[in-house]
Amino acid sequence: MFNLQAFSTQKSGVSDGSVANALNKIRSLLTKLLHSPETGVIELTSGEVVEDIVKGKIVALDNEIYQCVRAYADDGPGQPFTCRGFAVCLSDLVEPGEKGFFRFAGEADTILEPSLTPGAGESVYVSTTVYGSGTNVAPTGNNEWVRKVGYIKDASQYTAGPPVNLFVRMILDKCCENQIQA
């Protein structure tokens, strides 16, 4: 990922005056660019009522403007179907009603369900059992939706622990897959 801190380091030789002022403004501008739709990031409000949305959780658009909730791919009786316009939470923690940054395109560290054996190159789908998590096993149950979010680029961090680490590095790619049958 692009490292804005590298720029911060390079400017350290200049601490004041018009040049330092200009560099600070450029860095501020680049920070905004890296948090803009042009680079795949959109600021959304959490529509959750109780639960926080933490970094790596998969969210879906909600029915209010620029609002999201944790994604969930089961629309069976009593289940809220929340599978529209997926993104991954970049902010450490977004409380209900608060704003945070969410990535729609590019790469993101994404939380999977526990007890999986993910591998690089596998597809990630929205979970039907854990709100906001992904899974490398395509849902097959009644009322469940097969909603692909992307591909695993690196699963080396994922471990059942202890300590538990459910993150994988994912390339967001949400297009449907169709296999030609013989």
Partner 1 sequence: MFNLQAFSTQKSPVSDGPTAVALARIRGLLTKLLHNPETGVLYLLNGDASPITKGMLCRFDADNRVTPTTYLFGDTPVVCLADSLPAGEWGFFRFAGEADVRLINAIAPSPSDVVYVGGVDGLGDISAPGGAGTWIKQVGWLLDETSYVTVTNPLVRVVLEPCCGIYNPII
Interface with partner 1 (CB under 8 A):
18-19, 21-22, 25-26, 29, 32-33, 36-40, 42, 60-67, 84-85, 104-105, 174-176, 178
Q: Give the residue among 123, 128, 152 at the shortest CA–CA distance from 139.
A: 128
Question: Is the CB of 4 or the CB of 22 nearer to partner 1?
Answer: 22
CB-wise, 60 or 108, nearer to partner 1? 60
CB of 166 to partner 1, least distance (A): 25
Q: Rounded to the nearest whole angstrom, what is the least distance from the CB of residue 5 to partner 1 in the complex?
A: 19
Query: Is the Cβ of residue 59 or residue 116 nearer to partner 1 in the bound state?
Result: 59
Beta carbon of residue 165, minimum distance to partner 1 (angstroms, whole number): 29
Which 3-state string (H, E, C) describes the chain? CCCHHHHHHHHHHCCCHHHHHHHHHHHHHHHHHCCCHHHCEEEEEECCCCCCEECCCEEEECCCCCEEEECECECCCCCCCECCCCEEECCCEECCCCEEEEECCEEEEEEECCCCCCCCCCEEEECCCCCCCEECCCCCCCCECCCEEEEEEECCCCECCCCCECEEEEEECCCCCCCCCC
**Nearest approach, Cβ of residue 167 and partner 1 (Å):** 24
In the complex with partner 1, the residue whose CB is nearer, 49 or 65, is: 65
Nearer to partner 1 among residue 16 and residue 38 (C-beta): 38
Closest distance between partner 1 and the C-beta of residue 81, in Å?
A: 11
